[in-house]
Amino acid sequence: MIKIYVDMDKCQHYGQCVFEAPEVFQLNADDKLEYQAEAPDDMLADLESAADVCPMQAIFLTKE
């Protein structure tokens, strides 16, 4: 399992991560980021892409 953490103090809700891993990241009705705290290992490439494209570098991943 991959643990996902988004520093919401840094996140500016640009939503670039949504394009890379829509199964994990979504913008809600208020255009605020929501995300799952865990994802399966086979999503690692998409999650790394999401972290890389984040303009604020607010996404952190750890592998369990």
Give CA angle at 14 (12, 17), nearest 5°: 110
The model's pLDDT over 1-57, given as tens digits with 9 standing for 90+, comes to 999 999 999 999 999 999 999 999 999 999 999 999 999 999 999 999 999 999 999
Residue 42 makes CB contacts below 8 A (sequence gap 6+) with: none
Give the CATH number of domain 2-63. 3.30.70.20
Which of 4, 20, 21 is CA-nearest to residue 59?
4
pLDDT value, residue 64: 79
Domain ranges, ordered by start, for the chain? 2-63
Which of 6, 56, 29 is CA-nearest to residue 21?
6
Q: What is the pTM of this model?
A: 0.93
